Amino acid sequence: MLRNDERTYDELRKVKITKNYTKHADGSVLIEAGNTKIICTAMIEEKIPVFLKGQKKGWITSEYRMLPSSTVTRKIRDSSKGKIDGRNMEIQRLIGRTLRSIIDLKKLGERTLWVDCDVIQADGGTRTASITGAFIAIMDAVKKLKDKGLISEIPIDHFVAAVSVGVVNGQALLDLCYEEDSNAEIDMNVVMTEKGEYIEIQGTGEARPMNKEEFNKLLALSEKGIMELIEVQKRVLSD
């Protein structure tokens, strides 16, 4: 099956990651997954939340937003509504949970790593691309801490990436664009480490229930895509 962009069912969209995309952040990338484009930045703050006082460890927190012009119709800013959009809140919590799961917060020290993911153009898979890009941003940020002698070792335990999968017209597909996602019978977002360990699986039967065979097929597809994304991350960081 060839898709609208001529990909096969198990093929990722073209991924491009540009490091050091902004001047002031401790780590920053522009990640492009097909027509989805997101700026991911990481900045270090030399203090911790009150609830961590006395625990001698750091924290990672994230914020996620879509710029007004990132979608076909203008998206209203959260500040104009006076509250954070529920979807944005869900996604930024997912990003934060993911990054905290692969870093030793005690080795980070009593400091906070702020991660911001700003979608400048959306065409599906924004939460998964945010995770894949944010990982590189935090890797660069903690490397700066080590280079300055503020930490003795890189506190990150595993590479991590994420991808979307789904069933469209009865066909399991990897890395859905917006058109595919909006017509999916079943869709999933999967977050996984390089060791094949799952951090989060978000699966929904949009038009009908999902059976075990479909679930396993989608997991296998997601693992293939995530391992390919991790190889991209490694190439970018080695450069």
Which residues fall in the annotated binding site for phosphate?
A: 87, 125-127
- Which element (helix H / strand E) includes 192? strand 186-193
Please enumerate, by residue number, every residue annotated as part of a binding site.
87, 125-127
- Which element (helix H / strand E) includes 73? none
End-to-end CA distance of the chain: 35
**181 touches 166 (CB < 8 A):** yes
| Three-state secondary-structure class, residue 218 | helix
Contacts of 140 (CB under 8 A, 6+ apart): 19, 20, 26, 27, 28, 42, 237
Residue with tokens 């700026």: 39
Side by side, the strands of the sheet bearing 15-19 are 15-19, 27-33, 36-45, 112-121, 59-66
Token representation of residue 236: 């970018």
